[in-house]
Amino acid sequence: MTKRRTTATLAVLASVPVLLSFLSAGTAAAHGSMENPISRSFLCRNEGPEEPKSEACKEAIRMGGTQPFYDWHEVNIGNAGGRHRQIIPDGQLCSAGRAKYRGIDQARADWPATTLPQSGPFTYNYRATAPHPGTFELYVTRDGYDPTQPLKWSDLEAKPFLTVRNPRVQNGMYRLKGQIPEGKSGRHLIYAVWQRSDSAEAFYSCSDVEFGGDGAVVPAPAEVNPAFAREIEEQTKSGVHAGHGGGHQAHGVDQAAVAAALADKEQAAGGSSSDVFPLTVGGAAVLTLGAGALILFRRRRAARGQD
């Protein structure tokens, strides 16, 4: 029995490099959100999840914690496949129906807004950590939009005012050249959908805007804070982010899969599943918790502006 346990232990230890590479590969991803006009998730990350400045972001963090805004680029649905209106409920457009991001669904008039001109050409900047083919569609709210009411699909114009297919990413940015929506003035919201064409995954963002600008809105920040800018630069260079939740395809750590891989390794070494099961689960848990601790440590350092 001791020999068999020793063999199983060695098999598990031999699997560690493979599993570590699995963990590493699982974090490679293309994520994104609108930077200008700034989206709600990007805004709260830029303010700093630990010490947000705007009342809207403070409340969003009270509702869902800081993690959604470290994962600012992951407001997504992995199997959307163009079925946006069918699978995202009214009142949950900004969160894409994900409870994790419920804070950005808040219906309130004091979300910091980007002031835009009332007409003319404009380049909408969409931040992404890695390129993917796909289509961007930008919608604007109808006249009479009330930001204090939950956002519904019927609040958006029926057709996008801008559609861009397969744009090139430049220095981590998709620059979507178009026009300011015609005939809009005052407070509105721009809803962006990025539907990948190489998978069913789609990303969503809500940007509060003021067309014309009369000084009555809380202004959105004009620049990205330095610590956040460094984080974005690192992600853009590597195409790797520091982790995310469960909506993204082919990412994250599946503990059951890790355990199964370890069990298969042990069976190949001639042991029994009852002998190795605690070791299997323990090994998977240690790897997962270790990876999680490293992710959290790196995020907290980034939030404090440390290198």
Choose from 93-107, 166-180, 262-276, 279-293 the range with maximum mean pLDDT: 93-107
Kindly state the helix (H) or strand (E) to which residue 4 belongs, with its residue range. helix 2-25
* Percent share of the chain, pLDDT over 90: 56
Residue 154 has pLDDT above 60, yes or no: yes
Instruction: Report phi then psi at 296, rounded to 5.
Output: -60, -40
Contact indicator for 279, 8 with CB cutoff of 8 Å: yes
pLDDT, mean of residues 121-128? 95
Q: Quote the pLDDT of residue 238.
A: 59
pLDDT of 175 strictly over 70: yes
CA atoms of 96 and 75, how far apart (whole Å) = 6
Cβ pair 74, 129 in contact under 8 A: no
Quote the pLDDT of residue 217: 58
Q: What are phi and psi of 271, to 5 degrees?
A: -90, 180
User: What are the beta bridge partners of residue 170?
Assistant: 173
Q: Which domains does the chain have, with CATH numbers?
A: 2-25+253-303 (no CATH), 32-238 (2.70.50.50)
Q: Do 117 and 212 form a contact (C-beta atoms < 8 A)?
A: yes
Residue 223 has pLDDT above 90, yes or no: no
pLDDT in tens, 61-86: 999 999 999 999 999 999 999 999 99
Place of tokens 């994900």: 98
Determine the angle formed by the axes of helices 55-64 and 40-47, rounding to 10 degrees. 90
Backbone angles phi, psi at 151, to 5 degrees: -75, 125
Q: Residue 251's pLDDT is what?
A: 39
φ/ψ of 60, rounded to 5, equals -60, -40
What is the rounded CA–CA span in Å between residue 304 and residue 204? 28
How many Å apart are CA 168 and CA 174, to the nearest integer? 6
pLDDT in tens, 40-50: 999 999 999 99
Q: Give the pLDDT score at 97.
A: 98
β-sheet bridge partners, residue 140: 190
Q: Which residue has the tokens 């700034």?
A: 38
> Taking 80 as the threshold, does the pLDDT of residue 90 lie above it?
yes
Whether the full predicted model's pTM is greater than 0.75, yes or no, is no
Higher pLDDT among residues 166 and 253, named by residue: 166
Residue 89: per-residue pLDDT: 99
Give the mean model confidence (pLDDT) for residues 180-197: 97
Find the helix or strand (DSSP H, E) in which 13 lies.
helix 2-25
Which ranges of 84-241 would DSSP assign to H, the alpha helix? 84-87, 226-238
Average per-residue pLDDT in the chain? 77
Structure confidence at residue 284 as a pLDDT band (50, 70, 90)? very low
Q: CA-CA distance, 172 to 233, in Å (whole number)?
A: 8
> Given pLDDT bands bounded at 50, 70 and 90, which one contains residue 246?
very low
What's residue 281's pLDDT?
Answer: 39
